[in-house]
Amino acid sequence: MKKVYLILLVVILAQSLSVLAATPTKIEQYDITSEKITDQVYVLSVAWSKTSFINSAIIVGDKGVLLITAQMSPVAPSLEAKIKELTGKPVTHVFNMASDTFHFHANQYFKERGADLIAHKALKYSQASTEILFEDNFSMSFGDEVLTARHTLAHNSAQTIVYLENSNVMLLGDAFRTDKLVYTGYHGVQGHLDGFNQAYDMANDKTLIVSGHKGLRLFSQREDLKQAGETLSNFARLVGKKHSAGMSVADMTADQELLKAVAIYPIYRDRPELIKYNIIQLIELEFRPAYVIDSKALQAYEGQYQANDGNLLEVSVNNGLLFVMQEGKFNFALSPLSPEKFELKGRTDSSHMLFHFSVDGQVTGISPKMPKDSYYEKRIPAVIHQKI
């Protein structure tokens, strides 16, 4: 099971980073189409391949343009040129609505050209270039438009719902997909369903809803959110039921009841084997037995931890989960195996964090334990970080 789940994580990462492998060598090779919503708002779709289209949006102001989703850095010159062609104005602001790589990879490119960068505070615990960070809610006027953003527990740590009030356009990134089941992220199915409900309540029957990838269509409606939520909920329920009954992942992958539950997504009809990754994700994140530490007890672990060389780690509780973070590098949820040992939630190798205690039971330090020669071994020092 662990080995198979590693495949899932690789696939999930590949969905975010596959554009790098498909990067053309000349900017002229990028096909960027635009859909005009109003005189101030456009949706832009960048073609990374014949089947992969990543969406951005722009708001046109008096002196510049606000770009929502910076895309990957190789496409930035083409994107900038397309925006200049449409508006005749420079990009003066970039809004990152999530911590998927394609949302922020080109941040530095636009920052070097004078743009202000705006994102949820969780984005600082990634490799993104950041400047203006907000808490749970954000609102700003830009030209004749009003942008409102709300943080959500769906999909990833910096995920926000972006609503353009005057144009009645909502952007959800990959917290909503038209072509496949979503990756729910650390906060699981319920966190994602809560995100769908937030978006549903913010929208109305005429709202144009844009996902991170074009998928089956560019625009969706409010009822599509409801249908996606019901599909995810029912699918998760069935996976849990069949897993409890002892059905294997291989058998569930071919199970007609599960395939019928996701019938709104044609990809699983054409390639039913793809559903196994969603099954594995649910089993690992939703139905795997875990050592339980309540939220109040987890608060004792919160704080800053510093190594002798000054390397600083932060530990905090968010919605019942313990996170270990480092600015500019990473943000991992932790799953307890004991009061001392926490594995990195969602990883299938031996990565874990070992907490140290005083004789009277107080948390005094943390030691990262990364697999030898792994990606994070060189980035997270395997030394004791003392609580400060």
Residue 71 confidence class, pLDDT cut points 50, 70, 90: very high
Predicted confidence at residue 261, as pLDDT, reads 98
How far, in Å, are 109, 139, 164, 202, 298 from residue 135 at the CA level?
25, 11, 19, 18, 22
On average, the pLDDT of the chain sits at 90
Query: CA-based Rg of the chain, rounded to a whole angstrom?
Result: 21
**d(C-alpha 218, C-alpha 11), whole Å:** 24
Give the pTM.
0.88
Give me the CATH code for the 295-387 domain, please: 2.40.128.50
Question: Residue 22 above 60 pLDDT?
Answer: no
pLDDT tens per residue, range 351-371: 899 999 999 999 999 999 988
Question: Residue 2 above 50 pLDDT?
Answer: no
**Under DSSP, is residue 349 helix (H, G, I), strand (E, B) or coil?**
coil
Give me the CATH code for the 2-233 domain, please: 3.60.15.10
For the chain, the structural domain boundaries read 2-233, 295-387
Q: What is the mean pLDDT of residues 181-185?
A: 90
How far, in Å, are 259, 268, 328 from residue 271 at the CA level?
10, 5, 38
Predicted confidence at residue 7, as pLDDT, reads 45
Question: Residue 105 above 90 pLDDT?
Answer: yes
Question: Residue 19 above 90 pLDDT?
Answer: no
**d(C-alpha 325, C-alpha 319), whole Å:** 15
50 or 99, higher pLDDT: 99
Question: Residue 380 above 50 pLDDT?
Answer: yes
Q: What is the mean pLDDT of residues 121-141?
A: 95
Per cent of the chain over pLDDT 90 is 78
**d(C-alpha 36, C-alpha 31), whole Å:** 16
**d(C-alpha 40, C-alpha 68), whole Å:** 13
pLDDT tens per residue, range 31-56: 999 999 999 999 999 998 888 899 99
Contact predicate 158/149, CB 8 Å: no
Of all helices (H) and strands (E), which one includes residue 279? Answer: helix 275-286
Per cent of the chain over pLDDT 70 is 92
Predicted confidence at residue 3, as pLDDT, reads 47
Question: Residue 207 above 80 pLDDT?
Answer: yes
Give the residues across from 67 on adjacent strands: 58, 94
Q: Tokens 């390397």 belong to which residue?
A: 311
Residue 23 confidence class, pLDDT cut points 50, 70, 90: very low
Question: Residue 30 above 90 pLDDT?
Answer: no
Question: Residue 96 above 90 pLDDT?
Answer: yes
**d(C-alpha 56, C-alpha 237), whole Å:** 33
122 or 11, higher pLDDT: 122
Identical fold at 2-233 and 295-387?
Answer: no
Predicted confidence at residue 345, as pLDDT, reads 85
